[in-house]
Chain A
Amino acid sequence: DAGVTQSPTHLIKTRGQQVTLRCSPKSGHDTVSWYQQALGQGPQFIFQYYEEEERQRGNFPDRFSGHQFPNYSSELNVNALLLGDSALYLCASSGTAKNIQYFGAGTRLSVL
Chain B
Amino acid sequence: AQSVTQLGSHVSVSEGALVLLRCNYSSSVPPYLFWYVQYPNQGLQLLLKYTSAATLVKGINGFEAEFKKSETSFHLTKPSAHMSDAAEYFCAVSDLNTNAGKSTFGDGTTLTVKP
Interface of A toward B, CB cutoff 8 Å: 4, 31, 33, 35, 40-45, 48, 56, 58, 90, 92, 94, 98-106
Contact for A99 among B41, B51, B105, B106, CB less than 8 A: B51
Residues of the A chain whose Cβ atoms lie less than 8 Å from the Cβ of B42: 105-106
Residues of the B chain whose Cβ atoms lie less than 8 Å from the Cβ of A4: 43
Q: Are B101 and A31 in contact (CB under 8 A)?
A: yes
Q: Are B102 and A56 in contact (CB under 8 A)?
A: yes
Residues of the B chain whose Cβ atoms lie less than 8 Å from the Cβ of A56: 99, 101-102
Q: Are A101 and B103 in contact (CB under 8 A)?
A: yes
Beyond A42-B90, A42-B108, is A103–B43 a contact (Cβ under 8 Å)?
Answer: yes
Residues of the A chain whose Cβ atoms lie less than 8 Å from the Cβ of B41: 105
| B105 and chain A: residue at smallest CB distance | A42
Q: Give the docked Cα–Cα distance between A31 and B101 (Å).
A: 9
Q: Is B18 an interface residue (CB 8 A)?
A: no
Q: Are A105 and B105 in contact (CB under 8 A)?
A: no
Contact for B105 among A40, A43, A102, A104, CB less than 8 A: A43
Residues of the A chain whose Cβ atoms lie less than 8 Å from the Cβ of B105: 35, 42-44
Q: Are B43 and A48 in contact (CB under 8 A)?
A: no
Q: Give the docked Cα–Cα distance between A10 and B108 (Å).
A: 23
Beyond A4-B43, A104-B43, A105-B42, is A48–B107 a contact (Cβ under 8 Å)?
Answer: no
